[in-house]
């Protein structure tokens, strides 16, 4: 029965009874202000719940908290893990209960006829709930939303004010108990071995609910402890907190709101400064401490810097090295701008809905927060260590600066491949047609690459390229394949082609990969150069020795095996005295030639290779 029906019925009573006239003012009540809020169980609140809570259950005339009424209330207080006080009462709702409701809870109209009314029951209930009315003590119920909606509506209708907090054992059971067919209260009770004496009666249902929570709390506590351990592993290390403190102090000096500023260490050991979204990354490596910033920002600073790897953003970003946080002062305005940009994204996301805001807050709470006192202490300690740190890092950078810089000109590139020139590629001016005709070859090439058929993968990538497919994915796959083949010459060339054809953001990644390939190729060629020098010196020493007399016995000297360069049709291109001689003449990697001759791979530099047959010693 709705509120309008209630007043309508009272008006009819007034016309038939003088007594009812005197009771009418009791019906016209001020609507109370009642809230019911879910209680968040975490490391800071679970102890409060373990000390005290009230298990609560009701039976009703139906499912609508507005049109139906509560006909039975059951509540059990739990103090330090034990049931300590029970409340159980029927409530006369001045409303007929339906046969359907009676079939569920077994409460009849006859049972309710002499039951106490709402005017008697609810003052007693309010007294029993005590500080639960102000949220001091938490209520628990199974499928709590149903019970709380009825309680909130009833108390408000009767003019009471209350701020109730509650936990739902249905939700908690689903979260912490695995493998149940369903999570009805009876099923969960059976899982824990809790005896049910009188199902669907408020007092016993409240007791069972309280026992379920009692058994859930240790499991929840263990999960909270384990989760806290996982979270703490993402906290920055003590030496990394110096940079965190500097970033936070900079934002404070620029009067930015740092309420949601946090720090975390990701799975790759980069420390991220975040406002839900990361806006700055830094790392401590064997080379020293560096912060990742856009390349154009780094170019204006005196600090030592180098191009980032592909995983760090590629050539559009730089690693800016620093020995102490004082060297980051020129970055102050950049830090503030980056923070403001992420803050806009944060505000845009959290304003979408209450759910989005709650999810964001949960993520933020799991990250490291620095108090103002911590920041002051860390910065004070950092100033004392700045001089020593600066000297050691400067010395390291000086040592690094004496090493030669490896550039494109430091290596010899003589890549052998069957790729057509760019001018001969089809569909250069029709991207969509190029995609349609070229992408099928690319996807087949990817399958071949993942299956380890690298030469076939390159052949298919060449077909995709020839038909006009030029997506970043193609160049990424080319690079991965050539890197796996250790064909650094072709890797460098395909990177440089991609750098010309692709968008600057994709080109930046290729530039980083090209620079890495140059260093790898330089190492290979430098090793070969050193080996060749050793051979030449050995030959010079041998030539400098006096000739032996004819009468002296000459031991046969085993020379390096000859090698033959052939086409796929087995036509001889050239013969060489040794692999070293072939490397000098062709520039092809010695390991590639050796692997081709030994059958490990088919080609080296686009040619077949085989060893000469050894002549028998006479």
Cα 574 to Cα 504, 577, 581: the distances in Å are 43, 10, 11
Tokens at residue 50, please?
């373990």
Residue 590: CB atoms within 10 Å: 19
- Distance, in Å, from the CA atom of 274 to the CA atom of 115, rounded to the nearest integer, reads 60
Question: How many angstroms separate the most distant Cα atoms in the chain?
Answer: 151
Contact in structure between 62 and 68 (CB atoms under 8 Å): yes
Q: Would you say 204 and 198 are in contact if contact means Cβ atoms under 8 Å apart?
A: yes
Q: What is the dihedral of CA 311, 314, 317, 321, to 10 degrees?
A: 60
d(CA 73, CA 455): 77
Torsion from C-alpha of 205, 206, 207, 208, nearest 10 degrees:
50
Q: For 146, how many CA atoms within 13 A lie in the half-sphere containing its CB?
A: 18
CB 87 within 8 A of CB 128: yes
Decide if 200 is catalytic: yes
Burial group, residue 606, by CB count within 10 angstroms (0-12, 13-18, 19+): middle
List the catalytic residue out of 200, 260, 432, 503: 200
CA pair distance 38, 51, nearest whole angstrom: 18
Sheet holding 82-90, edge to edge: 34-38, 162-168, 138-141, 52-60, 70-79, 82-90
**What angle (nearest 5°) sits at the alpha carbon of residue 457, between those of residues 451 and 460?**
135
Is residue 411 within 8 Å of residue 525, measured between CB atoms?
Answer: yes
- State the residue for tokens 């009849």: 108
What length does the chain have?
Answer: 618
38 exposure class (CB count in 10 Å sphere: 0-12, 13-18, 19+): middle
Residue 172: name the closest of 38, 65, 75, 359 by CA: 38
Radius of gyration for the alpha carbons in the chain, expressed in angstroms and rounded: 40
Nearest to 318 by CA among 280, 341, 292, 344: 292
Token code pair at residue 87: 């409340």
> Rounded to the nearest 10 degrees, how much is the dihedral formed by the CA atoms of 63, 111, 121, 196?
-70
Catalytic residues: 200
């Amino acid at each position: 029965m709705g509120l309008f029906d209630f007043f309508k019925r009272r008006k009819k009573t007034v016309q038939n009874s003088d007594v009812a006239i005197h009771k009418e003012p009791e019906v016209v009540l001020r609507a109370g202000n009642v809230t019911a809020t879910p209680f968040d169980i975490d490391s800071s609140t679970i102890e409060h719940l373990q000390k005290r809570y009230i298990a609560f259950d009701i039976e009703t005339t139906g499912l609508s908290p507005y049109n139906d009424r509560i006909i039975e209330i059951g509540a059990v207080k739990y103090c330090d893990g034990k049931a300590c006080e029970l409340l159980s009462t029927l409530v006369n709702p001045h409303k007929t209960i339906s046969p359907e409701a009676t079939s569920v809870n077994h409460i009849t109209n006859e049972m309710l006829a002499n039951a106490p009314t709402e005017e008697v029951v609810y003052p007693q209930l309010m007294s029993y709930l005590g500080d639960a009315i102000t949220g001091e003590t938490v209520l628990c119920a199974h499928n709590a939303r149903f019970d709380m909606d009825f309680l909130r509506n009833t108390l408000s209708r009767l003019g009471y004010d209350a701020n109730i907090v509650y936990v739902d054992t249905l939700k908690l059971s689903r979260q912490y108990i695995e493998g149940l067919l369903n999570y009805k209260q009876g099923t969960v009770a059976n899982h824990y071995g809790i005896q049910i004496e009188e199902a669907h009666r408020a007092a016993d249902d409240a007791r069972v609910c309280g026992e379920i929570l009692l058994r859930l709390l240790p499991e929840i506590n263990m999960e909270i402890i384990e989760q806290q351990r996982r979270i703490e592993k993402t906290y920055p290390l003590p030496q990394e907190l110096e940079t965190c403190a500097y970033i936070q102090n900079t934002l404070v000096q620029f009067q930015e709101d740092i309420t949601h500023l946090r720090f975390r260490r990701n799975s790759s050991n980069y420390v991220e400064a975040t406002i839900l979204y990361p806006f700055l990354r830094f790392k401590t490596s064997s080379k020293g401490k560096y912060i990742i910033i856009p390349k154009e920002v780094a170019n204006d600073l005196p600090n030592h810097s180098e191009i980032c790897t592909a995983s760090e953003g590629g050539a559009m970003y730089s690693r800016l090295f620093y020995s102490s946080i004082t060297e980051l002062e020129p970055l102050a305005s950049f830090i503030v701008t980056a923070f403001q940009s992420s803050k806009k994204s944060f505000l845009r996301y959290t304003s979408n809905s209450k759910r989005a805001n709650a999810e964001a807050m949960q993520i933020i709470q799991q990250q490291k927060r620095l108090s103002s006192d911590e920041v002051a202490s860390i910065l004070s300690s950092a100033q004392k260590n700045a001089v020593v740190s600066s000297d050691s890092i400067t010395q390291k950078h000086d040592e690094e600066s004496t090493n030669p810089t490896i550039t494109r000109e430091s290596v010899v590139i003589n890549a052998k491949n069957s790729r057509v020139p760019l001018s001969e590629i089809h569909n250069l001016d029709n991207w969509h047609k190029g995609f349609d005709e070229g992408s099928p070859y690319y996807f087949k090439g990817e399958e071949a690459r993942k299956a380890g058929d690298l030469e076939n993968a390159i052949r298919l990538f060449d077909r995709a390229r020839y038909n006009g497919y030029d997506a970043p994915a193609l160049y990424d796959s080319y690079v991965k394949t050539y890197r796996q083949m250790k064909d650094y010459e072709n890797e460098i060339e395909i990177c440089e082609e991609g750098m010309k054809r692709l968008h600057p953001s994709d080109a930046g990644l290729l530039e980083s990969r090209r620079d890495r390939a140059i260093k790898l190729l330089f190492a290979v060629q430098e090793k070969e150069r050193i080996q060749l020098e050793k051979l030449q010196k050995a030959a010079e020493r041998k030539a400098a020795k006096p000739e032996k007399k004819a009468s002296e016995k000459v031991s046969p000297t085993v020379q390096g095996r000859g090698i033959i360069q052939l086409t796929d049709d087995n036509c001889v291109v050239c013969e060489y005295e040794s692999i070293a001689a072939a490397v000098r003449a062709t520039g092809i990697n010695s390991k590639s030639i050796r692997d081709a001759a030994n059958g490990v791979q088919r080609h080296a530099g686009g040619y077949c290779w085989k060893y000469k047959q050894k002549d028998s010693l006479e």
